[in-house]
Amino acid sequence: MSKKKLIFLGLPGASKGTLCNEIAKHININTISAGDCLREEAKKDTIRSQQIKETIGQGKLVSDELIIDILNDKINDKTQDYIFDGFPRNIAQATKLDEVLKSNNDKIDAVIYLNVSEDKLLERILGRRVCPNCNSNYHISFLPPQKEGICDKCGNDLITRKDDNEIILKDRINTFNNETKLLLDYYQDILYEIDGALELDEKFEIFKNIYDNLGE
Ligand code: AMP
């Protein structure tokens, strides 16, 4: 059976990461968050890491070359199913991704758009807590950990992301509206929409149905 590649699109706070965590619990599919990969890279002590940290802190996109370089192995891997969460984020990245996949006789099978209204984002983003060790996502009201401030999965202390604040959120929303949203048109033939306001288990069921019905 050929391996599947899917993309998750959505505004910051649309619950892409939370849904990916849920999917990873139940389905044998690699969920790759472009943001997590960049944050891992940013922990290193290099000039490139410093630049990544600054760009993320400004709510802007890192260069197309950089993100493609970081995800290169995963893009080229045909041995497992993948969900790319947060990649591509503009037309240039999508075009490059298509080029690489085509040269590998591979393709994107589906693009899932988690649609949420912008007025819900601030509450979601300000309440978000993440585990810097295993990248699990929580929300202080909607998805609290069993023990306050502690990751259920690995026991690490949870943190608030530096870019999860009201000022940077505005820039991240602008970046989405100006650059990423164009991908809804670009991928219109393989686009599926899930209402981000649904409960997590409902979103998971809709996703599973889409995934199970993808052709060869
Ligand atoms: P996320 O964890 O998806 O919210 O991403 C956090 C930040 O990482 C974004 O605001 C960007 O600065 C950067 N980033 C994530 N994905 C990409 C991408 N595909 N291209 C460029 N920058 C990205």
Q: Which residue has the tokens 């943190």?
A: 159
Q: Place 22 in a pLDDT band, splitting at 50, 70 and 90.
A: very high
Q: Residue 216: pLDDT above 70?
A: no
pLDDT in tens, 97-135: 999 999 999 999 999 999 999 999 999 999 999 999 999
Mean pLDDT score across all residues of the chain: 95
Question: Sign (positive/negative) of CA torsion 93, 94, 95, 100?
Answer: positive
Cα of 34 vs centre of ligand 1, distance in Å, is: 6
Q: Residue 2: pLDDT above 90?
A: no
Cα of 198 vs centre of ligand 1, distance in Å, is: 24
Ligand 1 atom 6: the closest Cα is on which residue? 35
| Domains within the chain, CATH numbers bracketed | 5-117+168-212 (3.40.50.300), 128-163 (no CATH)
What tokens appear for 182 in the block? 């164009």
> Among residues 4, 5, 39, 172, which one is catalytic?
172
Q: Is the CB of 75 under 6 A from ligand 1?
A: no
pLDDT in tens, 64-74: 999 999 999 99
Q: What is the DSSP letter of 216?
A: -
Q: What is the DSSP letter of 146?
A: S
Active-site residue, 128 included: yes
User: What pLDDT, on a 0 to 100 scale, did the predictor assign at position 1?
Assistant: 67
Active-site residue, 129 included: no
Cα of 70 vs centre of ligand 1, distance in Å, is: 12
